[in-house]
Structure 1
């Protein structure tokens, strides 16, 4: 399998050298039940709050990446869970910012950037932002890439008994069962169109009306609109749903813990995770120093070597990535692979998200 990968921000093209072939990884509008720090004494300037998506994945990258960076910089890192733009906006408007660095999906990052909820990246400090093909953004920083597919429990569903493609996921007669989808428009509009028969190469610009018509068909069969990423695993584990949209990296982490779960990812959707610094943080300089270390070759490689199912975004980390990890990455030039386009979402997220939220509340 070719290991070529491409930026979601640009049209696909083949990347030449081995160090430029690794480009992938381990994603909402508002997320329910975000972590909130209780009021108390002002935190020291040598501590940072990192808001991630929780679950096993955050535990693993905290151990492999975040805490080693904190130790190197002499900073205490506090983990919190559940990035939420509404909560962030409330903090910024009140002048009581409790978060420092947040892990965000592409659409969330774009929304935060455009609403001026995050600090501009100080590229005089973040000098490691040497991307494969991604463009530097003003106020959010690509961190890693990830891909998703259709999750199921192999102990309950033998081959041929679970949907392996998005049209099959939408075929509730052939593959009966309770579905699960994320409660945000980014990624879900894409899989709705893939489920309606749109070819990956023809996804963009997204036909929003067609996507909502496709979602209308599957909505009666969606038992859970999933807010928190760890629920993509736990809801299958607890048998509250049968099939859902989840992420390869999460599945591999769960399998390592002995959980019976797998993902059909022959037709993956690849997306970007970005990080951003909350507007008005008391720890801006240390936050920028932390972001710079997250893009260092060593930390990029440590992330994907310890969390298989994700991939680097920088051009100089490839030689440090394990060969077997390189071989496991989807081939972006395959007609089966869809790549999430953050540029499209940059132009359309603020228009689509309210419609999606209203759609979730109706019917």
Structure 2
């Protein structure tokens, strides 16, 4: 995939995060200055842990002598992130977040995330919206449709097909969250991909009313989604692309439909109460290298944010990633500003709807 193609595609979208240059960088000399220390990192577990271990963790330890201790984010990482800082509990030094997570934390105060303060010498190699004062993106993933190729006889091409339970038979599943599920409902109801935001919430719930009785399982985590697809408990489902690809890699006869999906950015933030800020910055710098980002793709089917990484990814693997040309053209960026403002209220409404 050419870097220029990707950049043109990504520049059509914006996260809505405040545009700002990174603060004055902290220049760290010497690769072993932190040898013997432990850095606690939070990621999403599963394929994320396996991929980042390949790409980032092991190589950082080998180069610096720093041990990486990893724990796993909750599906919504904000409450525990906030609690850790509010109580000065040292749960982590660096945590994987998304743009809407960052916006929500910013709304709560400026004590939750430290400035990243790193020097980026090659910013043009990266996808847009990747660098913020308190956030640095390292992976791009998507929420898309996954389906079993052994049981779904008519191949779906849109969310309207997913909603068409007469024409497309099979057990169905959706994420038990309003985030992306409301978008899927609007796409099924005829809203164009580039006109989703601000979401017409009432229309989305009306669309969900039409399929609610046909949803067999409301999945609750990425690992749950992988297992459901792998075991054949669901035939058609929404899924994080990374989790669906994990099931496929483990032998599930399944495929991903990219048309009508949403992509998002996973990136590192630094905990506001860490006493290892400089070490955290050195680690984040480490994760921006093109070859290291390419190295996570055998285990984690995310698109790199450093587009030079595609120089090191085999073509057969590259075509499976969200940022591959044939895939990204069917995706739009998740509306971080909308969800930062409305996620709490819509989560409450969604849960009430599920239980009604």
TM-score by length of 2: 0.79
Q: Does 1:288 align with 2:281?
A: yes
Q: Does 1:231 align with 2:224?
A: yes
Higher relative CO (CA 8 A, sep ≥ 6), structure 1 or 2? 1
Q: What are the superposed Cα offsets for residues 39-68 of structure 1, whole Å, 9 maximum, x if unpaired?
A: xxxxx9821222222223422332233221
Q: Does 1:74 align with 2:56?
A: no
What is the CA-CA distance between 1:145 and the residue it aligns to? 1.0
Counterpart of 2:199 in structure 1 is 206
User: RMSD between aligned alpha carbons?
Assistant: 3.1
Q: Count matched residues.
A: 326
5 Å-filtered alignment, 1:307-326, equals 307=299, 309-326=301-318
What is the CA-CA distance between 1:290 and the residue it aligns to? 0.9
Q: What are the superposed Cα offsets for residues 320-343 of structure 1, whole Å, 9 maximum, x if unpaired?
A: 343444555134784xx13124xx
What is the CA-CA distance between 1:110 and the residue it aligns to? 2.5
Q: What are the superposed Cα offsets for residues 298-348 of structure 1, whole Å, 9 maximum, x if unpaired?
A: 2122233x24642121254443343444555134784xx13124xx42254
5 Å-filtered alignment, 1:28-39, equals none
The change in CA–CA distance for 1:185 and 1:49 in structure 2 (over 3 A counts) is farther
Q: What are the superposed Cα offsets for residues 94-143 of structure 1, whole Å, 9 maximum, x if unpaired?
A: 11131222223332232234334642333235666653322522212211
CA distance in 1, matches of 2:106, 2:120: 17
Residues 227 and 247 of structure 2 are in contact (CA less than 8 Å); yes or no, is this contact kept in structure 1?
no
Q: What are the superposed Cα offsets for residues 133-190 of structure 1, whole Å, 9 maximum, x if unpaired?
A: 22522212211112332222223333x0x54421111122323443322233332232
Counterpart of 2:346 in structure 1 is 355
Counterpart of 1:21 in structure 2 is none
What is the CA-CA distance between 1:204 and the residue it aligns to? 3.1
Tell me, what secondary structure is at the counterpart of 1:143? strand
Residues 47 and 299 of structure 2 are in contact (CA less than 8 Å); yes or no, is this contact kept in structure 1?
no
What is the CA-CA distance between 1:76 and the residue it aligns to? 0.9
5 Å-filtered alignment, 1:34-183, equals 46-83=37-74, 84-116=77-109, 118-124=112-118, 131-134=126-129, 136-158=131-153, 160=154, 163-183=156-176
Residues 268 and 338 of structure 1 are in contact (CA less than 8 Å); yes or no, is this contact kept in structure 2?
yes
- The farther-off stretch of 238-247 and 3-12 is 3-12
- The farther-off stretch of 179-188 and 280-289 is 179-188
What is the CA-CA distance between 1:9 and the residue it aligns to? 7.7
Q: What are the superposed Cα offsets for residues 5-30 of structure 1, whole Å, 9 maximum, x if unpaired?
A: 358985259xxxxxxxxxxxxxxxxx
Counterpart of 2:17 in structure 1 is none
What is the CA-CA distance between 1:225 and the residue it aligns to? 3.1
Tell me, what secondary structure is at the counterpart of 1:350? helix
Tell me, what secondary structure is at the counterpart of 1:5? helix
CA distance in 2, matches of 1:239, 1:323: 29
Residues 98 and 281 of structure 1 are in contact (CA less than 8 Å); yes or no, is this contact kept in structure 2?
no
Tell me, what secondary structure is at the counterpart of 1:92? helix
Segments of 5+ residues of structure 1 without an aligned counterpart are 14-43
Counterpart of 1:195 in structure 2 is 188
Segments of 5+ residues of structure 2 without an aligned counterpart are 15-34
Residues 184 and 353 of structure 1 are in contact (CA less than 8 Å); yes or no, is this contact kept in structure 2?
no
Counterpart of 1:25 in structure 2 is none
CA distance in 2, matches of 1:267, 1:348: 18
Tell me, what secondary structure is at the counterpart of 1:230? helix
The change in CA–CA distance for 1:360 and 1:240 in structure 2 (over 3 A counts) is farther
